[in-house]
Amino acid sequence: MANHVESIREPLVHGNKNLKTITNDVLGIMDKKPTRLWWIGFLLALSALTLGIVAVSYQIMTGIGTWGLNKTVGWAFDITNFVFWVGIGHAGTLISAILFLFRQKWRTSINRSAEAMTIFAVMCAGMFPIIHMGRPWMAYWMFPYPNTRGPLWINFRSPLAWDVFAISTYLIISAVFWYIGMIPDLATVRDRAKTRVKKAIFGFLSFGWSGSFKTWHRYETVYGLLAGLAAPLVVSVHTIVSFDFATSAIPGWHTTTFPPYFVAGAVFSGFAMVLTLLLIARKTLRLEDYITVKHIENMTKVIILTGGIVTLSYATEFFMAWYSGNGYEQFVFLNRAMGPFAWAYWIMVGCNLITPQFFWFKKIRTNMLMVFILTIFINIGMWFERFVIIVTSLHRDFLPSSWAMYKPSYVEIATLIGSFGLFFTLFMLFIRYMPIISIGEVKSVLQFKGRSGGKK
């Protein structure tokens, strides 16, 4: 049987690999001196991070009056960035958990880096609401704990309190899932380490993993359980983020379609970001045999699907505004498309509706440069989607006398750049110092040549 399957299915890994070459290819990256390209990327990211640190320190010391917010538009850049980054994170969990449950074996070469991306993106996301508090050193007030003020508890009926729990749980579970998945590979690093320092560090990090099958046996069970827990978790997280808006009574926000719309949008933007990063990683680290064109194609197909759901959501919103007969609702949508923020709206539509349609063509799907450019457009479009939802709904609501415009200040823009800096600095460090591909899992999907018949 095995032979027939082999002849029909394309192998998941190219280039006639055996177990040893996989270990050497993936971990060789960690042994070599970093390339010039890596240094350029790392230093760029680090400078952006530095800018962000300066901006954040300045606004914490001065207060968030440094932002472009006003009485009408009380949520703008920071919450846009928050939702954007949370959305980016979703692709990682989707690849590692949902594709695992669907037994999609091609996920093995990309899940590690996608999970890392999730964690870094959620860290970037978490930063924004904390800064928005104005007094971030009081951030722990978000959690219910016995205190000397009564105890005065938090309001569990608020979606913002739900958000705190959703994002913290998501960060913790993603980090645990990622680390547990990495322990066997860290043991591989330990066992081939040449220097004593490296051996000691990875000996500690790998928790004494010995490859024992009795451990593997339980480990596989736990991996499946975690995947089963993470799959509904990831859906719940963006659902709750959408509740931040949907449970309010603001026209343009007060919509029951928000949860599926936001989840699809999150997967859409997340896959675009995974592709952007993986295309850079496969090129600069020469991982073309592991992250194959097939992987890229599969991901672009997910983008076509989720892009379609996002398009449908945009259409539904307009339809419902008209169909509801609610004048305020209708105004908000006309104002989105034709008001002072129409430019942002049409960037969103252009990037999110038109860009994924190019992926219907195999020629474009298999052209890595084209895919790279298109995914960047989707990243931009999805950032603008959140901006449009948040700012256009707020800046002109029920009372024309309180209408206002919003313009981000330099501090806000610097903070956004800083969050990209944090994300890419962590990602560059990760691809340099950690096994970027799940070696154990890739080995398990390697099909041996010349094995015919036999048991299993």
242 lines the binding site for other proteins (CB under 8 A): no
Q: Which two tokens stand for residue 57?
A: 């320190």
Say how far apart CA 154 and CA 167 lie, in whole Å. 16
Q: Which of 450, 452, 114 is nearest to 271 (CA)?
A: 114
2-21 positions binding other proteins, by CB under 8 A: 18-20
Q: Which is nearer to other proteins, 187 or 279 (CB)?
A: 187
Identify which range of 30-38, 160-168, 282-290, 403-411 contacts other proteins by CB under 8 A. 160-168
Residue window 122-151: x/- pattern of binding to other proteins, with contact defined by CB under 8 A = ----------------------x-----xx
Q: Which two tokens stand for residue 264?
A: 């699809």
Work out which of 103, 194, 217, 363 binds other proteins, going by CB under 8 A.
Answer: 217
Work out which of 33, 157, 194, 363 binds other proteins, going by CB under 8 A.
Answer: 157
Burial readout 157-184 (b: 16 or more C-beta within 10 A, e: otherwise): eebebbbbbbbeebbebbbebbeebbbb
Work out which of 13, 116, 230, 416 binds other proteins, going by CB under 8 A.
Answer: 230
23 lines the binding site for other proteins (CB under 8 A): yes
Minimum distance from residue 293 beta carbon to other proteins (Å): 25
| Cα three-residue angle 398-399-401, rounded to 5 degrees | 155
Residue with tokens 């960047």: 376
Q: Which two tokens stand for residue 79?
A: 């919450």
Work out which of 87, 89, 129, 203 binds other proteins, going by CB under 8 A.
Answer: 203
Q: Which two tokens stand for residue 157?
A: 């009926």
Under a CB-based contact definition with an 8 Å cutoff, are residues 424 and 48 in contact? yes
Work out which of 81, 206, 311, 392 binds other proteins, going by CB under 8 A.
Answer: 206
Work out which of 47, 62, 444, 447 binds other proteins, going by CB under 8 A.
Answer: 444
Identify which range of 5-13, 69-77, 207-215, 384-392 contacts other proteins by CB under 8 A. 207-215
Minimum distance from residue 70 beta carbon to other proteins (Å): 26
Work out which of 15, 74, 134, 211 binds other proteins, going by CB under 8 A.
Answer: 211
Q: Which is nearer to other proteins, 200 or 405 (CB)?
A: 200
204 lines the binding site for other proteins (CB under 8 A): yes
Say how far apart CA 10 and CA 16 lie, in whole Å. 12
Burial of 315 (0-12, 13-18, 19+ CB in 10 A): exposed
Identify which range of 91-99, 114-122, 214-222, 331-339 contacts other proteins by CB under 8 A. 214-222
Minimum distance from residue 9 beta carbon to other proteins (Å): 17
Q: How far is CA 381 from CA 76, 205, 268, 299, 350, in A?
A: 16, 39, 10, 18, 7
Q: Which is nearer to other proteins, 110 or 173 (CB)?
A: 173
Work out which of 51, 60, 142, 180 binds other proteins, going by CB under 8 A.
Answer: 180
Q: What distance lies between CA 196 and its chain's CA centroid?
A: 36
Q: Which two tokens stand for residue 220?
A: 């596989």
Work out which of 103, 214, 249, 343 binds other proteins, going by CB under 8 A.
Answer: 214
Q: Which of 75, 336, 386, 76 is nearest to 328 (CA)?
A: 336
60 lines the binding site for other proteins (CB under 8 A): no
Q: DSSP assignment of 239-297, as one string?
A: HHHHHHHHTS--TTT--TTHHHHHHHHHHHHHHHHHHHHHHHHHHHTT-TTTS-HHHHH
101 lines the binding site for other proteins (CB under 8 A): no
Q: Which two tokens stand for residue 327?
A: 């004048």
Work out which of 116, 127, 233, 332 binds other proteins, going by CB under 8 A.
Answer: 233
398 lines the binding site for other proteins (CB under 8 A): no
Q: Which of 14, 98, 29 is nearest to 446 (CA)?
A: 14
Q: Which is nearer to other proteins, 219 or 377 (CB)?
A: 219
Which residues sit at the interface with other proteins, rule CB under 8 A? 18-20, 23, 144, 150-153, 155-157, 159, 161-162, 165-166, 169, 172-173, 176-177, 180, 183-184, 187-188, 190-192, 203-204, 206-222, 225-226, 229-230, 232-233, 236, 240, 243, 439-441, 443-444, 448, 451, 454-456
